[in-house]
Amino acid sequence: MKRQYRWLVYVIILSVLVPSVYSLVQGGGYPDFELVESVPIETVLDNPNIRNTAEVWLEMINGAKKTLDIEQFYISNEPNESLEPIIQAIISAGRRGVQVRIIAEMKFYKTYPETLDRLKQAKNISVRLIDFGKLAGGVQHAKYFIVDKKQVFVGSQNFDWRALSHIHELGLRIDNADCAKIFGDVFELDWNLAEKNDARLLNDVLIKKQYSVPIILTEPEHQKVSFVPVYSPTGWIPDESLWDEPKLIELIDSANQELVLQVLTYNPKTKDGYYAELDNALRRAAARGVKVKLVVSDWSKRKPQIFYLQSLAVLPNIEVKLSTIPQYSGGFIPYARVEHCKYLVADSRRSWLGTSNWEKGYFYDSRNLGVIIESERISELLHQIFMKSWNSPYTYYVKPEEEYQPPRIGE
């Protein structure tokens, strides 16, 4: 009888405690630090307890009271598609008195001008185009926005209807004024640069800073999240100690057991030769016994990218898979049906999530943002997401001897 009573007590305790713990672990993380995903429809990649991007974007934008600063690679909308409510919410924010500023890459404005022109005509919305090619040689590739100088969304999601319905994406919603300040200073820099797009003015508008990092959030159940906002390119950032390339190398070098990495493209080849830093860091990890798993989209079947993936795949302790998302039943959609996530997890303990693909230009020539995270819960969630892709029917091992043909991507 005593054993029966003891078991009954355990059951009662678990019934009270487990649901709250389970919801936190299986959800997007924490109230102030939340993983957010987009999943291609007609796939099995959805994580039901992680909120979808459109829901979170609407919540954040509709909650804006004073300011909304948006910096995007481009904005591409279609009537009756999933981005349209987001665009309407931005226009509504301006109408209720929120001061909205939008920066987009000039190069892609020529491809997708319609929605930016529409927003430009709306009340309290100002739009500037930044020519990052003219300024630094690359593109404005960051995807983020800041609400009321307190909330930040950053991730792989472009402001593109396809990113909400037909592309696998991961982002972070961060409710923290210190983080908003760090990324807000990048926005102010780019806003000022975009006024004239003259690289000679950099010294006039780039204000050097030294931020207090890491930022530490205390979440429910006394769980702590420690994180460092990072960015690129070097030379075009307020605090050079937050340049993301060395932070990523440090993260890789800290791994003792396992590294998992997912990016759209992985290419150490440059016009000047071999970009060694990140590639060598992964090879060093494998050489000291760390198990490395890498998922790259099939957009990397092109040469020379595929050669480098094949050279990794033959090494002990490194496994490389390509990912091919099936085409939509409604027909081919250009620049979609792909895994576009960009994240790294070390030992299910530390992680990085950002906007950079793993090519040199993203760190030296182009504007990108990211976050280095110290949190077992967030890292475990990212690891779960990775393994769902890794074990999905869409991924397959890179074969060193195979001659790959690149997929159709565009029109």
C-alpha span between 63 and 272 (Å, rounded): 47
Give the CB-side neighbour count of residue 210, counting CA atoms within 13 A.
Answer: 0
Per-residue confidence band for 21, with pLDDT thresholds at 50, 70 and 90: very low
pLDDT, position 148? 98
C-alpha of 215 from chain center: 19
Examine the pLDDT at 24 and tell me if it is beyond 80. no
The arithmetic mean of pLDDT across residues 114-125, rounded, is 98
Residues 6+ apart with CB under 8 A from 389: 45, 168, 262, 295, 323, 339, 341, 395
Examine the pLDDT at 26 and tell me if it is beyond 70. no
Per-residue confidence band for 27, with pLDDT thresholds at 50, 70 and 90: confident
C-alpha span between 239 and 210 (Å, rounded): 6
The arithmetic mean of pLDDT across residues 331-338, rounded, is 98
Examine the pLDDT at 17 and tell me if it is beyond 90. no
* 129-144 confidence digits (pLDDT tens): 999 999 999 999 999 9
Take residue 69 and report the two structure tokens written for it.
Answer: 């600063």
Examine the pLDDT at 262 and tell me if it is beyond 60. yes
CA distances in angstroms from 397 to 125, 293, 319, 322, listed in the order given: 47, 11, 7, 6
Per-residue confidence band for 9, with pLDDT thresholds at 50, 70 and 90: very low
pLDDT, position 396? 98
Q: Give me the percent of the chain exceeding a pLDDT of 70.
A: 94
Q: Give the predicted TM-score (pTM) of the model.
A: 0.93
pLDDT, position 411? 83
Examine the pLDDT at 1 and tell me if it is beyond 90. no
Residues 6+ apart with CB under 8 A from 41: 165, 166, 328
Omega prior to 246 cis, within 30 of 0? no
Question: Using an 8 Å Cβ cutoff, are 197 and 135 in contact?
Answer: yes
Examine the pLDDT at 36 and tell me if it is beyond 60. yes
Question: Using an 8 Å Cβ cutoff, are 301 and 382 in contact?
Answer: no
How high does pLDDT run on average in the chain? 94
pLDDT, position 46? 97
The arithmetic mean of pLDDT across residues 100-122, rounded, is 98
pLDDT, position 116? 98
